[in-house]
Amino acid sequence: MPKISLIEEAQEVSRAVALIELGARMQVLESELSLSRERLIRLYREVKSESPPKGMLPSSADWYMTWQANIHASLFYHTYSFLKQEARCSHVDALTKGYRLYREHCTSTGLDVHLDLTRAWTLVRFFNGGILEMHQCCRCKGKFVSYKHDLPRAKACVMCQPPSRAGKKAKTLEAVH
């Protein structure tokens, strides 16, 4: 294994801390960073004051197709893509900066944050693996997350054509208050 410089190592530690603060799971850290598992566990404990959670990561692209998740996934992926392509950020930097911007947008507009960092990372992996892609809405011409191998036809995004039950829960809560 080639030796990395102290500056490169410090940058990796800084990236690890940023990812941990945003809620990255160990599988994400191990996949994206060159630090050892032991070092990542120590960093996780130091940053979060607890051991990293165990368990499986999300593994289905179907989750991103539900109407609210699709809106949030599309918003995040547009931000990530812009940072990667236009701002020329590395994958890890685009992921952390894009997720921060997504979260800040949700918070400032009063929306619930539907994507956690692990789901955002998994979304990017589904795009890189050729499972998902952005399709153009036939109504608003915006792009939204969809399956790569969907039959080519005019398709509306969930903003233009929400499901029939969308917003029912909110209306029910308003009626109770």
All residues at 6 or more sequence positions from 144 whose CB lies less than 8 Å from its CB, including other chains:
70, 71, 74, 134, 135, 137, 157, 158, 159
137 belongs to an annotated ligand binding site: yes
Place of tokens 């990293």: 52
- CA pair distance 132, 64, nearest whole angstrom: 9
> Dihedral of CA 54/57/63/67: which sign?
positive
Residue 145's beta-bridge partner residues? 134
160 belongs to an annotated ligand binding site: yes
Residue 146's beta-bridge partner residues? 133
- CA pair distance 39, 60, nearest whole angstrom: 30
CB 113 within 8 A of CB 106: yes
- CA pair distance 81, 102, nearest whole angstrom: 12
CB 100 within 8 A of CB 112: no
**Binding site: which residues?**
137, 140, 157, 160
Which residue numbers belong to the known binding site for Zn(2+)? 137, 140, 157, 160
